[in-house]
Chain A
Amino acid sequence: MKAADFIYHRATGVAEALRYMEDYDGEARLLAGGQSLMPMLNMRLWRPAALIDINALSELAEVTAQGEETHLGALVRHATLETSPLIAARLPLLATMVRFIGDHQIRRRGTIGGSLVQGDPASEMPLGCLVLGAEINAVGPAGARMIAIEDFYDGAYATALEADELLTEIRFAVHPPHFAFHELCRRHNDFAVLSVAATGHFSADGGWHGLRIGLGGVNDRPVLAEASMALLEGSSLSDADIAAAGEAALGAIDPPSDIRGSAEYRAHLVPRYIAKALRDLRLSAQG
């Protein structure tokens, strides 16, 4: 199918992009990598009055180290996360997870900002950002604001952004030393049936601290398994701890039944995938 008619604008700066958005009064869409947007246009499921291409905004394509923090511009491509030495050193969880997104072609074009705004509940970047506790910078006619990733999603494919806001940057605090990621797909790098990302600190006393466990594909948005996290605080991640954490996570999920798997099967897998991730964490501390 071919897209319905739309007007195309190429913005040369953030201010210009915002101005276009205002002109179309919420009826325009920003075009980043186009990997989610173009199929929706071609299927005529979205029919924006205009597309505002932000690919020329090179100021949004930067990866910068700001002291302890790492800032990613909204236009940073998946392929950059995959190959940048700075990301490998400072955000290794994202560098690991990004390889699970689609194919090379998609990772060349797709952007982290687009991925976050698209908000697929099984998507990798929203889950990675959640586990890393990222903060999102958005600008709109009223100026800029920071949104905690925990507050970013209202549901599947729905974010806290206003129709005239532009996501400019994602900010990350120091990355925890240990991390792990697992997902199940119906075929290579498909959208996940479910996914688990975990990070934590292992201290000299033999205990784990500040564990964060995030789950994708088992709710209308990525969620933290907070009960499991609390349970594991200070633990040694023994097999029994891990099993208990897996069970405790079931309270955090409300899995869908869809073509990729039933709710029942997803629920069955959650403790198992949590266990895989936690055993990896344990192993990484030993290594």
Chain B
Amino acid sequence: MSAVAAQRSLIGASLPRKEDDRLLRGDGCFTDDVQSAHQLEMAVGRCPFPHAEIRGLDVSPALALAGVEHILTGADVRALSAPLTVLRPVPGAPELPYYALAGERAIHEGQPVVSVVATSRALAEDALELIDIDYEPLPHVTDTLQALAEDAPVLHPGVLDSNLLARHEDRAGVPEERMAEADIVVGERFRINRVTAMAMEGRGVVARWRPGARQLSVYASTQTPHLLRHQLAESLRLDEGCIRVAASDVGGGFGQKLGIYPEDLLAALHAMALGRPVKWIEDRLEYFRASTHAREAVFDFAIGARTDGEISAITNRYTTDLGAWNSSFGSAQLSSVVFTGPYKLADAVAERRVAVTNKTPIGAYRGYGQPEVNFAREVLIDRLARRLGLDALEFRERNMLRPEDLPWKTPSGAVYDSGDYVKTLRMAGEAVGYAAHRAAPRRADGDGRLKGIGFASFVERTGYASARFLANRGSIFGAHESVTLRANRSGDIDLYTGVSTFGQGSETAFAQICAEILAVDYESIHVHAGDTASSPLNTGAFASRTLIAAAGAIREAADELRGKALRIAAWVLETAPEALEVSGQVVRLRDDHSRSLALSDIFTRAIIGQGIPPEETPGLEASAHYAPDEAAFSFGTAAAVVAADPESGEFSVDRLVMVHDCGTAVNPLLVEGQVLGGLVQGLGAALSEDLIYDPDTGQLVSGSMLDYFMPTAADVPPIELLHSEIPSPVTSFGERGVGEVGTIPPAAALANALCDALSEFGVELSRLPLTPESVWRALKNAKGANP
């Protein structure tokens, strides 16, 4: 690389996001912006009960309504399609057949039962009201653990004889023995709340079928166009070649928009029956019941240690709530992978049970089990430190893996690649003035509030450890990403990717890496994202894996394209390719810049096959697929500073500091955006968001924006981000994933800060969310226990 090229490194530059211009001008193209001639709209009738037999259903009055074009029932769907498939089945578990509409029984409130297509959404909703459905409510169960009780109604009687879908154990060493030998053991039952991702754009789909062409075009708000295409083909029993899925701008994904949902299939079935485009746009109210929920789990977590403060064993026995069905991704799996966190111990076990309940299915959500288990472990770490009379920071530090311990195979079998965990802990401690806080006398402020500081450390898995690992876990997707680069006659590069754009900034990051390797202008890279008709087959954007995998593919494709362009230029300029360099829009001789050729000239020659060396074939494009060999592990520590009222339980979050390491930051602006966004979602889940089901009625009682306390911008406390940047040895540019990290530590850091503030009362917290009332109740319990 020339000196000039070396100086212009785009990797690590906070380039403006390619996506922002159109988004800020209101020029994005979301699903509802797709308008087609003769378009119809779909509305879905949903079961109002948690569990009910459907004894009969009469659609004739609805069909008679002027403007109603088509209605599908459970029976129709069974005749026309196969059940929805699952991308990530639970290893070892039987399949739970999931049709797009309920048949004789519906097993959660909000389950689709009938769908209507009409000339407008309002009319389709009018029609739904005319459909008489004879429901016979059945006994239901909404509590995760009660679902596993002997007397619970079994929800999938044909397949399972209880509501336990699966049980899986990951273990190393002899944790039970170590636990028995430990000087001290702390254990607790932790309850993690059910929450939802709340993307700004809900789901949506527009399906269009041209019978003569046998072409189904589907525009969808999805993170995985190629996987959705595959799943549609399976359920529709159609050749994949007949289906195109395109996602233009997607208004947020967070894991919720992975794979197929019933409405995707329904819109396609209606469109195929009618030969007219059918649109369905999820509204916020149905979103609460129709899009996957997340996180809900009960952890029985225990840590054993010696009196000198060495952790000797961890047992992590937990039950995840699957909801009524296995959605495309099902309930979180990573609580079994990173449960020992940054700590050095050999003896540990994670037992995961998956329980079926009469609730909306659970799916992937930013973090996918990591925030949950982080809460249990890090809260107990503090509690253990208190019991041992040790400082929470020193106790953590003493047990953390050191850089020289890495790579380290954890008890779960994961291999941490590299990092300096202690460094992030110390940085967090310094940032919040922990030493001074420890030394200062405890005194209430003018409002009677006590100050507390809490920490939470984490190691996060980003990306997948190879397709072989995924195959072992039963997943039907790979670990790779792909890209096609195509030179055009303007001298620019078209970059095609199956990764849709949902706010993560991948258009920017991809263009940045591509421009860097080709040494062309960032502006000359045109990213075409999320269309299966033009992009190479890929996996999709999730699991903080996109950039890790895509960077390798971009590098390979760009090297190939650049090589050919330079060979052509060398032939024209009568020199050797090695004597040339690319600079912006030209190729020139390294030692004589006056001899140059415009990229547009070289690209045109290649594209039309005129004026190229005889041994070269026409065309200038390259595709590459790349799968990293290993997952990369991000890490860090968060610190929270709170002030809590020991009488009312009210508290304020005065500071939140996040120290994290995502290896090489390709674009620090994007990194900051990702971490901040994740932190705010983590704060929402930690402090206020809660999808509550009434145990008696089985109804979701916080199922609207009025009662689901998603934080607003004004609720976000001051957040400071501190970066450590240790390159990962297992990825192309040393990067680690960054998409999910923010969600992981806030809950534990806040709980620990509250327990620190209220330590004189012996307050202990073990359930989320942490609300003033829940802190007040914990205070009452503690005061009752130690009067």
Which residues of A are in contact with B by a Cβ distance under 8 Å?
Answer: 1-5, 39, 43-44, 103, 184, 186-191, 259, 261-262, 265, 268-269, 272
Contacting pair A269 B648 (CB below 8 A): yes
Given A259-B707, A268-B648, A268-B776, A43 and B715 contact (CB-CB distance below 8 Å): no
From the candidates B122, B286, B692, B773, name the one contacting A3 in the complex (CB within 8 A). Answer: B122
Separation of A5 and B122 alpha carbons in the complex (Å)? 8
Q: Report yes or no: B126 in contact with A187, Cβ–Cβ below 8 A.
A: no
Find out whether the CB atom of B776 lies under 8 angstroms from the CB atom of A265.
yes
- How far, in angstroms, from A103 to B713 measured CA to CA in the complex? 11
The answer to whether B709 has its CB under 8 Å from any CB of chain A is yes
CB of B761 to closest CB in A, whole Å: 16
Q: Known contacts A186-B771, A259-B707: does B714 contact A2 (CB below 8 Å)? A: no
Within 8 Å of chain A (Cβ to Cβ): is B283? yes
Q: Quick one: which of B263-283 are within 8 Å of A by CB?
A: 283
Per-residue CB contact flags for chain B residues 118-149 toward chain A (1 = under 8 Å, else 0) read: 00111001100100000000000000000000
Contacts of B162 in A (CB 8 A): none
The 8 Å CB contact of A272, one of B122, B129, B648, is B648
**Cβ of B711 < 8 Å from any Cβ of A?**
yes
Whether, in the assembled complex, B1 has its beta carbon less than 8 Å from a beta carbon of chain A, the answer is no
A106 and B297 alpha carbons, distance in the complex (Å): 37
Nearest CB of B to A196, in Å = 14
Roughly how many angstroms separate A223 CA and B350 CA in the complex, as a whole number?
54
Contact (Cβ within 8 A) A1 B715: no
Taking a contact as CB atoms under 8 Å apart, the answer to whether B126 and A184 are in contact is no
Candidates A3, A184, A188, A262; contact of B712 at CB < 8 Å: A188
Tell me, rounded to whole Å, the shortest Cβ–Cβ distance linking B46 to chain A: 11
B613 contacts the other chain (CB 8 A): no
Beta-carbon contact of A5 and B701 below 8 Å: no
Contact in complex: B283, A187 (CB < 8 Å): no
Query: CB distance B776 to A1 under 8 Å?
Result: no
* Contact of A187 with B125 at beta-carbon distance under 8 Å, contacts A268-B648, A272-B648 already known: no
Total interface residues on B, using CB and 8 Å? 28
A272: which B residues are within 8 A, CB to CB?
A: 647-648
List 5 interface pairs A-B (beta carbons < 8 Å), by A numbering. Answer: A1-B285, A44-B129, A188-B714, A261-B773, A269-B648
Residues of A within 8 A of B714 (CB): 188-189
Query: A2 touching B122 by the CB < 8 A rule?
Result: yes
Chain A residues whose CB sits within 8 angstroms of the CB of B120 once the complex forms? 2
For A2, give its contact among B121, B706, B715, B773 (CB under 8 Å).
B121
Among B285, B771, B773, B776, chain A packs the most CB atoms within 10 A around the CB of: B773
Contacts from B to A (Cβ < 8 Å): 120-122, 125-126, 129, 283, 285-286, 647-648, 650, 688, 692, 701-702, 706-707, 709-712, 714-715, 771-773, 776
Complex CA–CA separation, A2 to B707 (angstroms): 20
Closest to A43 in B: B285
CA distance A282 to B776 in the complex (A): 28
Q: Which residues of A contact B650 (CB under 8 A)?
A: 184
Complex CA distance for A262 and B773, rounded to whole angstroms: 8
Bound together, the chains give a CA A265 to CA B701 distance in angstroms of 19
Interface centre among B126, B692, B702, by most chain A C-beta atoms within 10 angstroms, is B126
Q: Judging by beta carbons under 8 Å apart, are B122 and A184 in contact?
A: no
B688→A186 contact, CB < 8 A? yes
Provide the bound-state CA to CA distance between A4 and B776, in Å. Answer: 44
Chain B nearest CB: distance from A14 CB in Å?
31
Alpha-carbon distance A248/B309, docked complex (angstroms): 52
**Interface on chain B toward A: helix, strand, loop, or mixed SS?**
loop
Query: Which of B286, B701, B712 has the most chain A CB atoms closer than 10 A to its own CB?
Result: B712
> How far is it, in angstroms, between the C-alpha of A115 and the C-alpha of B121 when the chains are bound?
30
Closest CB-CB distance, B355 to chain A, in whole Å?
Answer: 24
Report B-chain residues with C-beta under 8 Å of the C-beta of A189: 712, 714
Residues of A near B773 (CB, < 8 A) are 261-262, 265
CB distance from B204 to the nearest CB of A (A): 15
Question: Considering only CB atoms, which chain A residue lies closest to B772 in the complex?
Answer: A184
Distance of A4 Cα from B772 Cα, bound (Å): 40
Expressed in whole angstroms, the minimum distance between the Cβ of A273 and any Cβ of chain B is: 9
Q: Contacts A259-B692, A262-B773, A272-B647 given: A1-B283 contact, CB under 8 Å?
A: yes
Task: Determine the chain B residues whose CB is within 8 A of the CB of A3 once the complex forms.
Answer: 122
Residues of A within 8 A of B125 (CB): 1-2, 4, 44
CB distance from B109 to the nearest CB of A (A): 16
Task: Determine the chain A residues whose CB is within 8 A of the CB of B122 once the complex forms.
Answer: 2-5
| Residues on the B chain within 8 Å of A5, using CB | 122, 126
Q: Report the bound CA distance from A39 to B702 in whole Å.
A: 16
Alpha-carbon gap, A190 to B711, bound state (A): 10
Can you add 13 more A-B contacts, CB < 8 Å, to A1-B285, A268-B648?
A1-B125, A5-B122, A39-B706, A184-B772, A186-B709, A187-B709, A187-B710, A187-B712, A188-B711, A188-B714, A191-B706, A259-B701, A268-B776
Counting from the closest, the 9 A-B pairs by CB-CB distance are A188-B714, A2-B122, A265-B773, A186-B709, A259-B707, A188-B715, A187-B709, A188-B712, A187-B715
Residues of A within 8 A of B648 (CB): 268-269, 272
Q: Which A-chain residue is minimally distant from B649 (CB atoms)?
A: A265
CA distance A269 to B647 in the complex (A): 9
Nearest chain A CB to B198's CB is how many angstroms away?
A: 13
Q: How far is the CB of A73 from chain B (nearest CB, A)?
A: 28
Closest to A102 in B: B712
Contacts of A188 in B (CB 8 A): 711-712, 714-715
Please report the C-alpha to C-alpha distance between residue A190 and residue B707 in the assembled complex, in whole angstroms.
9
Q: Pick the contact of A4 from B126, B701, B709, B711 — CB < 8 Å?
A: B126
Taking a contact as CB atoms under 8 Å apart, the answer to whether A187 and B776 are in contact is no
B702 partner residues in chain A, CB cutoff 8 A? 259
Alpha-carbon gap, A212 to B122, bound state (A): 48
A268 to B285, CA, bound (A): 33
In the assembled complex, the Cα of A191 lies from the Cα of B707 at a distance in Å of: 10
User: In chain B, what residue has the closest Cβ to A2?
Assistant: B122
Please measure, in the bound complex, the distance between the C-alpha atom of A184 and the C-alpha atom of B709, giving whole angstroms.
Answer: 14
Residues on B with beta carbons closer than 8 Å to the beta carbon of A191: 706
Alpha-carbon separation in the docked complex, A261 to B777 (Å)? 12
Q: With the chains together, A262 CA to B649 CA distance in Å?
A: 14
Chain A residues within 8 Å of B710, by CB: 187
* Residues of chain A with a CB closer than 8 A to B706's CB: 39, 191
B residues in contact with A103, CB < 8 Å:
712
Min C-beta distance of B47 to chain A, whole Å: 16
In the bound complex, how far is the Cα of B129 from the Cα of A44, in angstroms?
11
Q: Which residues of A have CB within 8 Å of B711?
A: 187-188
Residues of B within 8 Å of A268, CB to CB, are 648, 776
Of the listed residues A2, A3, A268, the one surrounded by the most CB atoms of chain B closer than 10 A to its CB is A2
A190 and B709 form a contact (CB under 8 A): yes
Chain A residues contacting B709 (CB-CB under 8 Å) are 186-187, 190
Q: Which residues of B contact A190 (CB under 8 A)?
A: 709
A40 CB to closest chain B CB (Å) equals 11
Query: Min CB distance, A13 to chain B, in Å?
Result: 31
Interchain CA distance A4-B43 in the complex, whole Å = 14
Collect the chain A residues with CB atoms within 8 Å of residue B688's CB.
186-187
B residues near A259, Cβ cutoff 8 Å: 692, 701-702, 707
* Most B C-beta atoms less than 10 A away, residue of A186, A261, A269, A272: A186
Interfacial chain A residues near B771, Cβ < 8 Å: 186
Instruction: Tell me the minimal C-beta distance from A263 to chain B in angstroms.
Output: 11
Contacts of B701 in A (CB 8 A): 259
How far is A125 from B470 in the complex, measured between Cα atoms in Å?
58
Q: How far is the CB of A250 from chain B (nearest CB, A)?
A: 15
Once the chains are docked, how many angstroms separate the CA of A204 from the CA of B285?
57
Bound-state CA distance A39–B129 (Å) is: 18
Q: How far is the CA of A189 from the CA of B713 in the complex (A)?
A: 11
Which interface residue of A1, A191, A262 has the most chain B CB atoms within 10 A? A1
Residues of the A chain whose Cβ atoms lie less than 8 Å from the Cβ of B647: 272
CB distance from B774 to the nearest CB of A (A): 10
- Per the bound structure, the CA–CA distance linking A265 and B283 in Å amounts to 34
Residues of B within 8 A of A261 (CB): 773
Alpha-carbon gap, A189 to B771, bound state (A): 16
Query: In the complex, how many angstroms separate the beta carbon of B745 from the nearest chain A beta carbon?
Result: 21
Residues of chain B lying within 8 A (CB to CB) of residue A269: 648
Name the B residues within 8 Å of A43 (CB-CB).
285
Return chain B residues, CB-CB under 8 Å to A4. 122, 125-126, 129
